[in-house]
Amino acid sequence: MSRFRTLDDLDAADRTILVRVDLNLPMQDGEVTDFTRVDRVLPTIRELIDRGARVVLLSHFGRPKGQVNPDMSLRPVAEAVANRLNRPVTFADDCIGAGAEAAIMSIGAGEVALLENLRFHPGEESNDNTFAAALAALGDGYVNDAFSCSHRAHASTAALAHKLPAAAGRNMEAELSALSAALEKPQRPVAAVVGGAKISTKLDVLGHLIERVDFLIIGGAMANTFLHAEGYDVGASLCESDLADTARAITTKAKDKGCEILLPQDALVADALEAGITTETVSIKAVPTEKMILDVGPKTVSDLEKRLTSWHTILWNGPLGAFEFPPFDAGTVALAKAAAARTQAGDLISVAGGGDTVAALRHAGVVDDFTYVSTAGGAFLEWLEGKELPGVKALAIDQS
């Protein structure tokens, strides 16, 4: 990963700093239901306030497709940010032009404004240079603190960074440092947990990881396809049988790269995915024809917990089972707690990300006990695939 500028490199005193954040928050009946993304960017906002900057927040909300849509206004979010920040946040009815200029002119050093939804303008998603120039005209410096948006070459994440002195915010800095520690310069042995329903959605992830990790734990329904490819009967389980050759090719490549793939040895099975249904623990060699594999079994968990004691880095994307329906959460919860315990003891670097992963770790009660848990979603997945993220590249000191 290239070196990138941070807030330490940015002159902020008595300057107007445009800060790209991700305030695409979950809402219900006009109220924010999860403040995680706000809380992640508060350190950057507060630091800029303390340094005497006029802080101007830029964000998208929803998918208005370049049209003004009152249902996707950021106005309700301004109040939420103000409450978490414990200070007023001025709201502008546009993100460029007279409305934005007036809102910025109304704030002083150490004060905050939030501009209206960037995606009300088609130039945002098309990375239009003219739109980026209109944004740049509003400020003296630029900070990107939205890793979750940086896999898109949009005007506010890519073009704008080239028009003003630019730096990564503290949230972005923490994310990039954690990702680098997990894959680019890891403490070995390094293991990756990859779960999910289908191999087809994570082919690029698997291909990238087997070249960089020592152990690859495959869980969730996608493990069924690998088991099927090895000749096991997975009963009525979800399985992409048409990708058996692909699974075998991945296994062969992993062996060539010195990466050991770990598949379930036993499983918790049931007739259907329902809470409270009768379950049975069986060997992978003896899955009943009419039953579905819905979680890894205790033997698998025990083996992974023992192996975990020798690993120094773990990267996690996807649950081991259908954790939303207890008792099919047991495998995920047990391994998550074991990883959290080793992390807290200072023996493991643990980095996790992806929507289902965050939900699973929160369910296990260990989100705050991992080294870093990314809320980036698509950007985290594309990083796992080894793709270059435009918003990150734009911040690089040694761009090429």
Which positions are catalytic? 37, 198, 355, 378
Supply 160's token pair. 């704008």
Of 314, 315, 317, 313, which is closest to residue 355 (Cα–Cα)?
A: 317
**Please, what's the b/e burial string for 331-359 (b: 16 or more CB within 10 A of its CB; e: otherwise)?**
bbbbbbbbbbebbeeeebbbbbbbebbbe
Sign of the Cα pseudo-torsion (231, 296, 262, 319, in order): positive
Q: What does 90-121 look like in DSSP terms, one character per residue?
A: EE-S-SSHHHHHHHHHT--TT-EEE---GGGS
Q: Which two tokens stand for residue 163?
A: 């028009």
Q: Name 297's Cβ contacts closer than 8 Å, sequence gap at least 6.
A: 264, 265, 266, 267, 268, 281, 282, 331
CA distances from 271 to 315, 320, 324, 361 (A): 32, 18, 17, 26
- Cβ neighbours, 10 Å, residue 56: 27
Number of H helices, E strands in the chain: 14, 17
Query: What tokens were used for 58?
Result: 């830029």
Q: Of 38, 165, 57, whose CA–CA distance to 104 is shortest?
A: 57
DSSP H or E stretch at residue 373: strand 372-374
SS3 283: strand
Say how far apart CA 322 and CA 221 lie, in whole Å: 9
How far, CA to CA in Å, does 139 sit from each of 75, 135, 267, 277, 397? 21, 8, 57, 58, 21
Q: Which residue has the tokens 């940010």?
A: 81
* Interatomic CA distance for residues 388 and 400, integer angstroms: 12
What does the DSSP 8-state code read for residue 187? P
